[in-house]
Structure 1
């Protein structure tokens, strides 16, 4: 593998590194991602070759190891989306400031970010795995999938924490998921999503708009509005995507009451066009 190259990423003032790192740490898939101290590290592929990067979210220092220096531009661009570095925080604060529920939260946290993803299909798999189970349980199953089906990076050292590439959609189409803790229905959904991505029926291009994306995703058996809007939040980077069916949101907005998805949708209208940020605030308050 090539030599290590270092870059500096400009981080916004008051960037909530601890919160962003905690989000990724809870979801990090062993072999693909690793959170240590103030840094996030992951494997990636560029131009048919594998490598890894590590970003320190307090100093902005980025280390990239890849055979092709051209990969660096891709990584640095993706990092802005991955960590939501360009979020319009002043506008978000103004939007939420007078809200009875969100106002105190935004004053407490000041800076809120919606973590992105490296790859849309990978995020789709994670979203499907997360249906109706805990984050920890979904991470465990994802780690089993990687252990069985991921491509090991050639030359990766035994102690390299990011030694494999997350399997792509073509692998998922014919993969054996038996014995990994998945139900038959969930396996069918993973395969259906993979087939739709391979066929071009589902893609993660933000230019299509969330309404079209949700319609295409929910045409896949086993994917509902919650999953599609969660993907739109993190993969399409739609600041107004809103998974109204989320049980945590429905409980935390009015403590002691569980709102219906329609009630939550109505309650969320004043938060537009930044409802995805409201989701992160309310999750943090849960």
Structure 2
């Protein structure tokens, strides 16, 4: 194995070309032709030497002769595909075993077949195209990895958000259960005057006024309850019992607005008719 590095500036990912041919004069001619193209050029004088390089060095494009002793070009390129599937594989040969080459192209082992003797500019253009294809493949892989990472991050975020929603839902269930268990009546009224919540204690006190508990609007409540109660509240009679009524506005620490009406048992001496 010998290596010829071009004088071009070093790239972050230096394009690497492996030339495989059993004729040293062909390798030398190709190296002279391509040394100014900006490629890192590796050469091997046969398929076995090429495989050794592929096993140890990342390669972007492989260009191999077809008729070589020991291992024909298409056989070598099939092995190259197994070792480095992403490398672009080209046959450059004056010997045309059409069936072998066609089969290799059809099965994906070979990207392109070029003939000897070659046209310099045509050869350079085909190599440039091969490297562009390799860069596109690498870019697609990079984007695929980025997409997979983003999807993983999104999945984690969704799991976290789902956990937050479950936690808030559980907390809301507990809150509702606590409100239902309170010995104090609680009625929640939204900014449109609709009753959003009425716990059991409030429902029992208000059932005498509306046995079906059909009130959906604060206007359906007894006037003594729905009318704003000046601080510290007022005592009314509900279901034959004295009840202390208070109104508390909310919305200063939330997006919702409205008021909470509390109905607290009062001493009989404080009762007044609703």
Decide which structure has the larger Cα Rg and report it.
2
Structure scoring higher RCO (CA < 8 A, sep ≥ 6) equals 1
Shorter-chain TM-score: what band? Answer: under 0.3
**What's the TM-score, normalizing by structure 2?**
0.23
In terms of fraction of residues, the more strand-rich structure is: 2
